[in-house]
Amino acid sequence: MSNPLRVAIAGLGTVGAGTVSLLTKHRDLIARRAGRNVDIVAVSARNSEKDRGFSLNAYDWYDDPVAMVKEADIDLVAELVGGEEGVAKEVCKAAITVGRHVVTANKALMAMHGDALASEAEAVGVSLNYEAAIAGGIPIVKALREGLSGNQINRVYGILNGTCNYILTEMRENRISYEAVLAEAQKLGYAEADPSADVDGVDEAHKLALLASLTFGTRVDFAGVYTEGIRRISIEDIDYADEFGYRVKLLGSARMTENGLEQRVFPCMVSKDKAIANVDDAYNAVVVHGDFVDDTMYEGRGAGAGPTASAVVADIVDVARGFSVPTFGVPVADLINVESIPIERHWGACYIRLMVRDEPGVIADITAVFREEEISIESMLQRARSQTEAVPIVLTTHACEEAAMRRTLKRIGALDSVVEQPTMIRIETLN
């Protein structure tokens, strides 16, 4: 058997501790599959005294992870610190500079600096792998970079944030408000104390930018991802979606068109007969459409110690085997720059919920605006009078350009009879 692969772990939080546990528990299994032992020789974290469920005595301890990368006798560092700047970035850059392979679970870092880090890694001949950065335990990077490499892929989309999927599932199944479910998700550890990155779609946008680059061979363009979260989704919207035959999901979707690259993260309504509409709780799923395979779907847990550690170790095993492919599927110099298509040019059907005063002429005023903007209404529901001043009018439209829909909603929102800003949720056909 070859010399062991010597590994350093930077960061011993949920993922780092999970990685140590997996490499320890399956040491013999991993050695058989990798053709050599994989040995942890050094670790670094904020607190050496914290109880993580295992002893650190067998490893060299470093208070400074950058010093560890430079000084320890290692072949590879697993960067599991997190964050797009600061220590995480310094660890990766230092490792590459001194010729260490890098495995990371850091989607923010890769979305913001992946091109530059990959270029540096190529220059010195080391691997930069990040399977764990997208969709937890789902091996989607390997699927796109290797398993589907013979296909022309025109679209990739998915549920890429388990926190939001859990919240939307609980709202639908148990009729609990967004605020109440979020608080519960925080107690369960699904959501951070500051949940903004999750619920505002930023986490999913990081992952989508990486997926798009892998899928289409383009430069990573996080700034080009239109991002919208789930804060405005209500139980009423989820109920109406069900009535119309839809489920509400936060989807990340990337599609290459003749005009450029569409990258979108937004809550949308998906027909119940689509497989991805039935992916619930904290699960993730990714659908890839290739010209020879048609649709392939990958589903699994998108976060947590076990699934994410599984992906980290898969990348480590690749390095141990001596298997290496370009970070984004092709050399960085071959990644192309494409125009990012703004959301105003998005084309699709929409669900609209309006809260209006129950008085004569309201519907006529609203439909007049749709007519003048040349948007066709597909269906409309008006509920009976209620005890409150406002009543809901709910409608769906045929496909239209987003810019026209935004003009329409701005005009309707300014009507005296409309008492709240309109709610709009896009309807995705996923064809």
pLDDT in tens, 363-403: 999 999 999 999 999 999 887 655 567 889 999 999 999 99
**Which of 160, 156, 108 lies closest to 283, judged by CA?**
160
For the chain, give the mean pLDDT: 93
Which amino acid belongs to residue 148?
L
Which CATH number fits the domain that encloses residue 101? Answer: 3.40.50.720
Is-contact 29 96, C-beta < 8 A?
Answer: no
Phi, psi for 153 (deg, rounded to 5)? -105, 130
Catalytic residue from among 25, 50, 187, 207? 207
d(CA 411, CA 422) in angstroms, rounded, equals: 10
State the pairing for strand pair 5-10/38-44: parallel
pTM confidence score: 0.93
Residue 85 confidence (pLDDT): 86
Q: How far apart are CA 228 and CA 231, in angstroms?
A: 9
How does DSSP classify residue 212? H
Q: Judge if 229 and 104 occupy the same domain.
A: no
- Same domain (yes/no): 180, 51: no
Same-domain status, 75 and 58: yes
- Distance between CA atoms of residues 169 and 374, nearest Å: 35
Do 112 and 207 share a domain, yes or no?
A: no
Q: Are 207 and 317 in contact (CB under 8 A)?
A: no
Task: Give the phi and the psi of residue 266 in degrees, each rounded to 5.
Answer: -160, 155
Q: What pLDDT shows up at residue 244?
A: 93
Q: Which residues of the chain have pLDDT under 50?
A: none
Among 270, 301, 332, residue at a domain's last position: 301
pLDDT for 386 equals 57
Separation CA 300–CA 136 (nearest Å): 8
pLDDT of residue 262: 96
* 25 catalytically annotated: no
Question: pLDDT at position 54, please?
Answer: 84
* 388 three-state secondary structure: coil
Tell me which H or E stretch contains 257.
strand 246-257
Please measure the distance between the N-terminal and C-terminal CA atoms of the chain and give it in whole angstroms. 50
pLDDT digits (tens, 9 = 90+) for 259-292: 999 999 999 999 999 999 999 998 999 999 999 9
Looking up residue 385, the CATH number of its domain turns out to be 3.30.70.260
- What residue numbers bound the domain in which 30 lies? 5-133
Same domain, 144 and 291: yes
- Whether 298 contacts 141, CB under 8 Å: no
